[in-house]
Structures are given as structure tokens and as C-alpha cells.
Structure 1
């Protein structure tokens, strides 16, 4: 089972984002505070779970968490501040909404912008190591998937219901044939060879 905490004796929140490498759609992030003695053997990095398991676990996380929230940053905002800063902003927006104030933050990845002077630690592949980050990865992924599924009904030619806005061959082909939508991130190299131009 994943680890329950990084900091000893502090109210700890785990954060993760979804959609950073996409060509289209908002970036989502979640913040989750779990009970100190929480156990759930099924919790894991959302990328290692089936969609059915992710949605089952989302309901369990929302039921069991001390507090949880989801933050969103739009494609327009991404184009203004770049995707890295947008990821941090989405996490901060999730943290802003928590009904319980955390005392420390753990974040998936290797970079983070400090939040309200709270101590924080970045953990590479943290969504496969800590329960609260795994929980955040599941919430961010499922809420973003819901959003992309809704957009796919408006723009079916881009296959967003399958690729969730990521740069698949079918998605890039649709861009070349139909152009971009208001939901595409203009600061990315949308057609290229599938490699994104990220303004880091």
C-alpha cells in the first residue's frame, strides 16, 4: 500500500494535476487531505488504473477525505502564463477551496510554487508513492475527463472523448483538416510532429 504521509504530525495535503501535456482544454488540479490513519489498498497513480476503477475510487475519496477540492485553469489563461505556471495556479486554486487548512503540502513532480508560506515537498512519481497524491491524481484526472467528454459532444471531429485533448495522430489530423477550436492552447505547437512546444 502507498505511504500515508510525508510530514510527521502535520495536516498534510496532496496535490496533483491532469492535462498538462494536452493540446486542448483546461488544466485541472486537485488537493486532498486524507485522515491520518487512512488505508486504501486500491489507491494508486491514476494512470495505472482503469477508468472504471478511477471513478469508483473518486467516490470513495470524496466520501472519506477530510477535505478535497479541484482547481481549473483555462486554455486562455494557459496561453498567457504558460503551462507550468498554469499547473501551479490550478493547484493553488484547489488549495484555496479546501474547507480545512493544511499545514504542509506534498506535490507530484519536481517543481511547485510556494503556497501561503506552507512547507512543501515535491516528490517525483509521488502519485505512486503517497495516498493523498494518488487521490489527488484520481480526482484531477476524472474531473478533467468529464470536462473533455462534454467538449467532445460540441467538437466530435477531434476525438476528445478518446484522447482527452492529448496530441494523438487523429487529434493532430483533425486540427490540420478543421483548424483549431476556442479550446485549443494557442501557445503550443499544435501540428508539428507531436512534440509540444512548451514555454517553460
Structure 2
């Protein structure tokens, strides 16, 4: 909680951790989790970790704890079609905007957003050319940190929510269309997924603007193939 409290001292007590999953997949949405913590009342004895370091079962087990720990939480998604139309960075911002908008409906506006990574794709300079003033909390500062999902409880919590929700969606899609192995690879570029694309072609859930059927095998957000 050290980083959460540092941000709260500078900006205010409501600190939103934010993280994305699905950036490196060939199919499915990009998903952004947001968890807002109130440092005036938060209590925790559980050390939350980046979702990539947890088993799928442990991530699912932690979701109720994460939901109860934060004063508000949400996951936003941007579809493969939106990634194709607007580009990956704009799609990430749209997904994050949707998560923040859902939180705003509960009457919670964070004082600062703590974002994993070294690039502010959420603020994108303060205004989004494609989506205008769609940002749910215009003017809210965004602070980035490399490996924030390893260092900050709120960002780790957001990572867990986003990973569980996106995995569940891809498993559902994989059950409806098992040809691509999404129930296992979650849309990432495993050799089996590539082979299925060569055999069956892309679906509406694939990012058609990407090099789907050739080139180097892409790694998932964990730096592995299809986990």
C-alpha cells in the first residue's frame, strides 16, 4: 500500500489502480480493470499480486475479496472491431473509459489513477481525438509506473479483475466455437491457434488488421504463448 498512500498524499484519498489484459492476443477484446481504494478506510491483510503470478483458480478465488476491498471496481472492454478501427492504444483508452464510466455511475470519482506501464494510454495527452470528451473523469491525473502490477496493491487488484473477466469471456467463446482453442489459449497466438486460422480463416472475434496467419508467434501479456 506504500505507493497508494504516496499518491493519496499528493492528490487525494481515492486512488484508482488500473491495468489492462489482452493487448497481445489475436482474438477477443482488450480489457481494462479499475479498482478504487479509499486510503481513509482501507484495510487489508492479503498481499495481492499481479494476475500473471497467480494460478487461474487463485485469481477467481480473489475476485470477491478485491470487489469488497475497493470502494468501487469495474472492467471495461474494447472489441476486436474497435481495435481494427481505432488502433490498439485508442482501444485501450476506450476500454478504460468504459470502466471509469461504470464506476462514475456508482458516484465514485477517483482523485488519481495509477496506471501500469510507462505510457499513459488512458489520458493520451488529456483529450481523445476519436472519442472527444468521453473520459469519465476529465482532468483526473494519471500516474504511470513500470511493473506497477507487481508493486502496488490497487493495480494488482485491477489486474486480477481484468484477467478473470476476459478469460471467462474467451472460455465462453471457445465453448461456442472450439476450433481455435480459445478455452485454453484465450485468443493468444499459440501454434495451434495459428494453425486453426490457416485452416478456417478469421472470425468476427479476430483482429483482422493484425498479421493473423503469418509472421512471428506473438507472446501474450505474460510473455508466454497462450497462457
TM range (shorter): over 0.9
CA distance in 2, matches of 1:120, 1:139: 20
In the TM superposition, residue 195 of structure 1 has moved relative to its aligned partner by 4.6
Cα displacement string for residues 169-188 of structure 1 (whole angstroms, at most 9, x for unaligned residues):
00001000111111000111
Aligned residues: 196
In the TM superposition, residue 35 of structure 1 has moved relative to its aligned partner by 3.5
Instruction: Output aligned runs, 1:35-50, within 5 Å.
Output: 35-36=38-39, 37-50=42-55
Structure 2 regions of 5+ residues with no counterpart? 124-134, 219-227
Cα displacement string for residues 39-92 of structure 1 (whole angstroms, at most 9, x for unaligned residues):
243311000000111011111111221000111111111101111211121111
Which residue is equivalent to 1:18?
Answer: 21
- Supply the RMSD in Å over aligned alpha carbons: 1.6
Select which of 106, 111, 132 maps to 1:103.
Answer: 111
Select which of 66, 75, 81 maps to 2:71.
Answer: 66
Q: Is the 8 A contact 1:167 1:194 kept in 2?
A: no
Instruction: Output aligned runs, 1:15-164, within 5 Å.
Output: 15-36=18-39, 37-98=42-103, 99=106, 100-112=108-120, 113-114=122-123, 116-164=138-186
Structure 1 regions of 5+ residues with no counterpart? none
Q: Is the 8 A contact 1:6 1:106 kept in 2?
A: no
CA distance in 2, matches of 1:48, 1:131: 14
Q: Is the 8 A contact 1:2 1:41 kept in 2?
A: no
Structure 1 residue runs of 4 or more that deviate by more than 6 Å after TM superposition: none
17-26 or 91-100, larger mean C-alpha shift: 91-100
CA distance in 1, matches of 2:203, 2:45: 40
